[in-house]
Each structure stands twice: as C-alpha cells, then as structure tokens.
Amino acid sequence: MTHPAQPKASHFINGEYVEDTAGTPIPVIYAATGEQIATVYAATPAIVDQALSTAKEAQKAWAKMTGTERGRILRRAADIMRERNHELSVLETYDTGKPLQETLVADATSGADALEYFGGLAGSLTGEHIPMGEDWVYTVREALGLCVGIGAWNYPTQIACWKGAPALACGNSMVFKPSETTPLCALKVAEILHEAGAPAGIYNVIQGMGEVGGALVTDPRVDKVSLTGSVPTGKKVYAAAAEGMKHVTMELGGKSPLIIFDDADIDNAVGGAINGNFYSSGQVCSNGTRVFVQKGIKEKFLARLAERTGNAILGDPMDEATSFGPMVTENQMNIVLGYIEKGKEEGARLICGGARADMPGYYIQPTVFADVTDDMTIAREEIFGPVMSVLDFDTEEEVIARANDTEFGLSAGVFTNDFSRAHRVIGQLEAGSCFINSYNDAPVEAPFGGVKASGVGRENSKEAIKHFSQVKSVYVRMGDVEAAF
C-alpha cells in the first residue's frame, strides 16, 4: 500500500503535479525507523527547462497585478496552511524526523506567518518622490524576475515559505529545489499557493541533488538565487551566480557563541542553551553551540544543565510527548557521532549523552561536553547535531575576543542581568541575528541572516523585500534641455 507521505508526483510545475521517472530515483527515508516511505525522481534537463520557462513566462503578468491582489493570494495561502497545520506537521515529521511536538508549532505555522506577513506588505511596496526644484526624481520598486530558491533539509516547509513569500510579494516567480533529503513539504507549499489563487507557473518545485541546483543557478533566465545550506555549498553557488551577475541571498552555517555571565538567571540560561542546542536535535543553523560560561557559575550551570537534559524524551516523533527526535539521515548521524568521538579524543569532559541512543532510527543522545577549549574540533566546526560545547571564561573582554574568533557569524547570545553589559557585549559580537536573555527566536518580523562566512542578505522582515526587488530611478525634467552644442 502506498504510504500517506508519497506525493502525487515529484515536481509541481505550471500549477500541476508533473512526473518524469527518467530522473534518478530519490528514496525518502523516515528517520525514526529507517524505512523508505516514498520515492521521488530528480529533475531531468527537460523538467528543469519546463520549470524555468514556465516561471519566466508567468512572472510578467504576476508583476503587473497590484500588490494588494498578490498579497490577498499569499494571505489566503497562509489561512489554508493554518487550517491544515496538523496534516502538514505530520508530513514535516515524515520528511525530517523532527517530533510532532515541534512541527505543530514551528514549521507550517512559521511558513504561514511568512505568507501572511509578506502578503500584508505586498500592497505597500512603493517608491519615493525626490523633489529637484522644478524637476523631480521618482523611484519604483520593481521585481527582480525569476528567482531560484534552494533549501536545506532541516526546515523544508519554513524554508520554502521564507523564500517564496517575499519573492512572490515583490512580483517575482520562483523555482524552488528542496534538499534531496526532504523533498516532500515544498510540494505542499506549491499546491496550497496554487489553491489560494496563485497563477500557474508562479511557484514551482522541482526535485534533485546538487547538480539540479547547479543547473538552476547557472541558467541565464534566472535573476536571483536564494540558498539555505552549508558554507562550502554557499561558496560554490555564490561563485556560479556571480558569473551571470545574479542577485544572491546566502543563509549558511554557523558556530555561534552563547555567553553566560555569572549574574545571569541560571535556569533561563540553561533553557537558552537547551533551545540553542537541542531543538530539532541540534539541526539548526543559528544554534549557540559554543556556550561560554563565566567561571564562578560553571559547575552550578553544568549540574542544572545535566539534570534538565536528562528530561529529554526520545521516542516516536509522532507521539506528542516526544521532545527529542532522530538525526535526519544515517549519514548525518554518523557525522555527528564522529564529532562526539573527536571531542572525547581531544580531551573534553563528557557531562551527559555521548552515544547513539539504543533504539531503532537515527537517534543520538543529547550530548554536553565541558572544559572545551577554543582549538578543539568540536569548538571550531559546525556539527549540526545535538552536541553542546561548554567553554569557560574570566572576563568580558576575553570572551568577546574568543567568541569572535571564528569564520562564521550567524548568531550570538548573551545572558546577564546587567543590561548595560548585555548591549555593550552584543554590540561587539560579529553576528547577524542576536539575542539578549533568550536564544533562537525567529519571528518573521525580525531580519534573519549572518555576517562573515555565514552569508549575505537577510530573510524575513522588511529587509527581505530589499533582497527580492530592485529600485529604478526616473529623472523627470520639466523645462528645456541644456546641451553643450
């Protein structure tokens, strides 16, 4: 019998599901059991061409609609997503393995927020009037054209919406390629947008591995590429986009610092460290994986952290009591286990976890290492799994320098009850998305994105509009034209 997660077809192009079984089969594996639940096929060159040509053509009429009309469609899609939240959350759990406890509140809901927010903004994307004496200049905020979105596997619904909603609000069309690991959810986003009234061809989804992404990025019909992925992929995609002088947004990886001063509320700081390391089993780009704890409270912090981490419930992700799910794939599990071994070998002190959980599926115990030093591999490389490194520090000046000593710059957090210090420290941290006495909040109203190797551009908020549109300026002369001859 066909599994309920099996989509109608692999791709969604020009307002309908499209299949082409000539492409490479991509098995969809449920991470909690290891069983294959669905199959999709990578896009063939013919499918890539069909998606791009349909999106290029459809964009012209879409951009001519008023912003209010476009916005109404996006807001209708948001309503449909909220109505179907349970069904979409179950699919997200099948796609990623993340527990339903999380997906019910963090995925389709976050996607719906983006559709609603950018739907609301669409009608107010205006230019400026700039007086020049009798003459004037006016500016027009125009769509870029055809945008490509390429997603990572940790938030397949959210990423499809975070890219699609601002792109469509500005009058662009989109071809979205999900990660081959999680191909299911973006198809539902396309289906819902279409049901909400998006014209055929405005939002298309095609499957495939890196080579399909590469074909999209290098196609001359494409005006913009928005990628969520790792730094090495980001460098490749950025370089390929530069060849065609295309706009880019790069949402890449991190190794973010979370700094806890000795005057912080310990339970809140422990909660922040748990949210910033163990949510989605640690598969979150903005995680605060280098937890710097001031020496005075170190042992107290570790004791409370170990106690609360022990409360994680590993189990069936479809059981709403489960609070901690598996790694997305066997491969990702093995990568993370490799880092855990490195942490042990390099002399970090294991506080809890440290091994695969004794159950089917790709589960790793939530793991905390203490006495981690700046040069250890687990403190330098992005692990993308449930492995927290606790480092200690003495002074504010020292911790700022050490926190910034990384190629990454996605996020940073500070816990302290001294608000002058909180702002002073955050002001000096080289990161795009920061938190004071909190960690990993990502409301659609706030800009999200990194500095340094963690990326360029911003998603969400009014900032995202700038990255999915361009400004035309028009000088209007009222009098005669003076010329030299």
Q: Which residues are catalytic?
A: 163, 251, 285, 459
Distance, CA of 95 to CA of 181 (rounded, Å): 8
Compare residues 142 and 381 and give the one whose CB is closer to ligand NDP: 381
The nearer residue to ligand NDP, 270 or 453, going by C-beta atoms, is: 453
Among 41, 62, 117, 153, interactor with ligand NDP by CB under 6 A: 153
Return all residues near 257 (Cβ < 8 A) that are at least 6 apart: 288, 290, 291, 292, 399, 402, 403, 406, 412, 413, 429, 431
The yes or no reply on residue 367 touching ligand NDP (CB under 6 A) is: no
Question: How far is Cα 249 from Cα 472, in angstroms, rounded to an integer?
Answer: 20
Q: Residue 236: enclosing H or E segment and its boundaries?
A: helix 231-243
Q: Is 252 in the site for ligand NDP (CB under 6 A)?
A: yes
Q: How many whole angstroms from its chain centre is CA 58?
A: 26
Select the span of 93-101, 174-182, 360-368, 460-468 touching ligand NDP (CB under 6 A): 174-182
The region of 80-88, 249-257, 289-297, 417-425 touching ligand NDP under the rule CB under 6 A is: 249-257
Shortest distance, position 461 Cβ to ligand NDP, whole Å: 14
285 in contact with ligand NDP (CB under 6 A):
yes
At closest approach, how far in Å is the CB of 240 from ligand NDP?
7
Tell me the pairing of strands 433-436 and 411-415: parallel
CB 464 within 8 A of CB 458: yes
What is residue 88's three-state secondary structure?
helix
Tell me which residue has tokens 């007086």. Answer: 131
Residues paired with residue 260 on neighbouring β-strands, in sequence order: 293, 415
Binder to ligand NDP among 151, 156, 326, 385 (CB under 6 A)? 151
How far apart are alpha carbons 402 and 462 in whole angstroms? 32
**Residue 145 burial (CB count, 10 A):** 20
Q: Which residues contact 325 (CB under 8 A, 6 or more apart)?
A: 31, 32, 93, 96, 97, 98, 99, 102, 280, 281, 314, 317, 363
> Is residue 447 involved in binding ligand NDP (CB under 6 A)?
no
Structure tokens belonging to residue 351: 């506080």
For ligand NDP, give the closer residue by CB, 236 or 421: 236
In the complex, minimum distance from the CB of residue 179 to ligand NDP, in angstroms, rounded to a whole number = 4
Q: Are 276 and 260 in contact (CB under 8 A)?
A: no
Q: Is residue 214 at the binding interface for ligand NDP, with CB under 6 A as the rule?
A: yes
* 251 lies in the site for ligand NDP, by CB under 6 A: yes
Residue type, 340: I
Strand order in the sheet with 387-393: 349-352, 367-370, 387-393, 290-294, 257-260, 411-415, 433-436
Number of residues that bind ligand NDP (CB under 6 A): 30
- When binding is defined by CB under 6 A, the residue of 41, 384, 415, 435 that contacts ligand NDP is 384
The β-bridge partners of 26 are 40
Query: Is residue 226 a contact point for ligand NDP (CB under 6 A)?
Result: no
Asked if 248 interacts with ligand NDP (CB under 6 A), we say no
Q: Pick the stretch among 59-67, 77-85, 119-127, 210-218 that binds ligand NDP (CB under 6 A).
A: 210-218
421 binds ligand NDP (CB under 6 A): no
Q: Which is nearer to ligand NDP, 179 or 322 (CB)?
A: 179
- Considering the complex, state which of residue 48 and residue 352 has its C-beta at the smaller distance from ligand NDP: 48
10 near ligand NDP, rule: CB under 6 A: no
Rounded Cα gap, residues 78 and 372, in angstroms: 44
Say how far apart CA 248 and CA 65 lie, in whole Å: 25
Q: Out of 107, 180, 191, 219, point to the residue binding ligand NDP (CB under 6 A).
A: 180
Interaction of residue 228 with ligand NDP, rule CB under 6 A: yes
Q: Which of 99, 111, 253, 325 binds ligand NDP (CB under 6 A)?
A: 253
Closer to ligand NDP at the Cβ: 96 or 228? 228
> In 23-89, where do the E strands start and end?
25-29, 36-41
Task: Name the residue type at position 18.
Answer: V
Q: Which residue is nearest to ligand NDP (CB)?
A: 213
Residue 3 CA to residue 19 CA, distance in Å, equals 18
Residues 6+ apart with CB under 8 A from 131: none
Query: Which listed residue (32, 100, 150, 312) binds ligand NDP by CB under 6 A?
Result: 150
Does 127 contact ligand NDP by CB under 6 A?
no
Exactly one of 143, 202, 217, 444 binds ligand NDP (CB under 6 A); which one? 217
Which residues of the shown chain bind ligand NDP in the complex (CB under 6 A)? 150-154, 177, 179-180, 209-210, 213-214, 217, 227-230, 233, 236-237, 251-254, 285, 382, 384, 410, 450, 455
